[in-house]
Amino acid sequence: MTWHAQDSIIAAYVSGRIDDAAAASLETHLLACEACRGAVSGRVDPTAMDRVWAGVRETIDRPAPGLGERALVRVGIREDLARLLATTPALRASWLGAVAATLLFSVVASRALGGDPLPFLSLAPLVPVAGVAIAFGRPIDPAWELTLSTPTGGFSLMLIRSAAVLATSVVLAGAAALALPGAGWSMVAWLLPALCLTVLSLAASSTGVATTVAAGIVGTVWVTAVLLAARLADEPLAAFAPGAQAAFAALALLASIVVAVRHTSFERPARI
Ligand SMILES: [Zn+2]
């Protein structure tokens, strides 16, 4: 090496008061000259370097958002909300795939029974109930500890995730309903029961039982009620008749009031 960077150039470079051309020239020289690299590093503030290095590591180590999360942000949902939704177990591809397969099975069963919509109508309302049950809780939610520390903890988080799960379930079940044989009122007869059972399971879990247990109870009561109504009225679809639909609407309203009144029970760390 026949020349070395002047002290004034190195000082200007370290302090950041140097023009781009001179900086580029010095950096090219530094690549090949150990003595000047030593001169530069001797002048650099180590705490500033640590800060830069921490920033680099933070950027490299930060997990990249998934496809779903990026899509949510793109349609205008806030980044923190998108992360909360993307980490909801019941909104993951594996769960949605299982739901789609189950709905498909019920449609095939309805077709195999000569157009009887009962298998589909009984099963579709349970889809959001199961989804909401696995949308919360320590054993299931990978972001459980994280959600405890967010300002959007507890009740708001429960509402956001339940609404997202319910909306997704309705879209999936609605698509499956299109494949039902002999379409008619049976294509939508599952909607009010679905809403009613979902809110009922939330109301049940507000009493302190785990969301999965609440969903199990609601599901068992639902299947029993459908079978019992069919037997008592001697009509297979009695549980979906207009009178029953009105009862589902009233029950959904009542359960919503219970959830609203007991909202603080969703804020307890042990529960969410
Ligand atoms: Zn040099």
pLDDT tens figures, 168-214: 888 888 888 887 776 677 778 888 898 899 999 888 888 878 888 88
Closest residue by Cα to residue 141 from 127, 157, 163? 157
> Residue 61: what pLDDT?
81
| Contact by Cβ (8 Å): 73, 82 | yes
What's the CA-to-centroid distance between 12 and ligand 1, angstroms?
Answer: 15
pLDDT tens figures, 97-140: 778 888 888 888 888 877 788 888 888 888 888 888 877 655 56
One-letter amino acid for residue 98 of the chain: A
What's the CA-to-centroid distance between 51 and ligand 1, angstroms?
Answer: 27
What's the CA-to-centroid distance between 50 and ligand 1, angstroms?
Answer: 25
**pLDDT at residue 4 is higher than 60:** yes
What's the CA-to-centroid distance between 19 and ligand 1, angstroms?
Answer: 19
What's the CA-to-centroid distance between 18 and ligand 1, angstroms?
Answer: 17
What's the CA-to-centroid distance between 31 and ligand 1, angstroms?
Answer: 9
CA angle (183, 198, 157) in 5-degree steps: 130
| Contact by Cβ (8 Å): 159, 81 | no
> Residue 29: what pLDDT?
93
pLDDT tens figures, 48-70: 889 989 999 888 887 777 777 88
**pLDDT at residue 272 is higher than 50:** no
Mean pLDDT along residues 29-37 = 93
What is the chain's mean pLDDT, rounded? 82
What's the CA-to-centroid distance between 26 and ligand 1, angstroms?
Answer: 9
Mean pLDDT along residues 65-89 = 79
Closest residue by Cα to residue 216 from 116, 146, 133, 157? 133
The band of 81, judged by pLDDT with boundaries at 50, 70 and 90, is confident
What's the CA-to-centroid distance between 147 and ligand 1, angstroms?
Answer: 53
- Distance between CA 14 and CA 132 in Å, rounded? 56
249 or 177: which carries more pLDDT confidence?
Answer: 249
> Residue 16: what pLDDT?
87
> Residue 112: what pLDDT?
80
What's the CA-to-centroid distance between 37 and ligand 1, angstroms?
Answer: 7
Burial environment of residue 169 by CB neighbours within 10 A (0 to 12, 13 to 18, 19 or more): buried
What's the CA-to-centroid distance between 33 and ligand 1, angstroms?
Answer: 5
What's the CA-to-centroid distance between 6 and ligand 1, angstroms?
Answer: 9
What's the CA-to-centroid distance between 8 and ligand 1, angstroms?
Answer: 13
For the entire predicted model, the pTM comes to: 0.67
